[in-house]
Copies of this chain bind each other. A is one copy, B any other.
Amino acid sequence: MNTTKKTIKKAAINLFYKKSYFATAMSNIAMNSSIRKASIYYHYDSKEGILFDILMTTMKELTVYVETCLEGIENGENRMRAAVRAHVKFHCDRQKEVLISDSELRGLTANNYKSFVVLRDAYEKKFQDMIIQGMDQGYFAAGDAKVISYAILTMCTAVANWFKPKGRLSGDQISSIYEELVVTRLLKESLPLYSFENSVLEE
């Protein structure tokens, strides 16, 4: 992707985040890219094209990032820990893009919407499978796997709603807190007492 296109995309990310997709005009994007609005159409077919580009690349990069962080980890609990860490970290580092991904899907026409949802569902399924496997094999506490998956994913995703880049805690610190909250508390809490010592010794 050439420099101008990158500039346009970055300006769009800032504006869609700040004002929302529909409230952002092509002229706004143009002004923030130091270009005339007609020139944008050399790089993108339409306004929706910009949104689609942002959404797809963000979703793909999230998927790749989490996969990279899981590489080489065999143990199921540790994979879950790494996945939560990576998901939360990405949602701190790429706050604007992921918030757009969360709230601007209604800006997509049917086909583009479908393309995006395929990626998102595949991503979410990986988390669900990790949780279900843990429950099946007993290293995570039993529970309604679907609901617990939603609870965990939405909780980790929502970090992007309140994270402040210059706040008290860094993205890494928040990732660590969430790793503990999710895996130690949410997923392992209700192990029966008699197995508690075992589960500690086994790790």
Q: Which residues of A contact B (CB under 8 A)?
A: 18-23, 103, 106-107, 141, 143-144, 146-148, 150-151, 154-155, 157-159, 161-162, 168-169, 174, 177-178, 181, 184-186, 188-190, 193, 196
Contacts and interface: CB of A to CB of B under 8 A. Distances in A.
A184 B189 contact: yes
Given A20-B107, A155-B155, 16 more contacts: A20-B22, A20-B106, A22-B23, A23-B107, A143-B177, A147-B174, A147-B177, A148-B181, A150-B159, A151-B155, A154-B154, A181-B186, A185-B186, A185-B190, A188-B189, A193-B196
Contacts of A20: 20, 22, 106-107
Contacts of A168: 146
Please give me the 5 A-B residue pairs with the lowest Cβ-Cβ distance, nearest first. A154-B158, A22-B22, A155-B155, A185-B189, A189-B189
Number of copies: 2
Contacts of A106: 18-20, 23
A10 to B, nearest CB: 19
B155 A169 contact: no
Given A22-B23, A186-B186, A154 B162 contact: yes
Contacts of A144: 169, 177
Contacts of A147: 169, 174, 177-178
Contacts of A157: 158
A119 to B, nearest CB: 17
8 contacts: A18-B106, A23-B107, A144-B169, A154-B158, A154-B159, A181-B186, A185-B185, A185-B186
A162 B185 contact: no
A177 B147 CA distance: 8
A188 B188 CA distance: 12
Nearest to A24: B22
Contacts of A185: 141, 185-186, 189-190
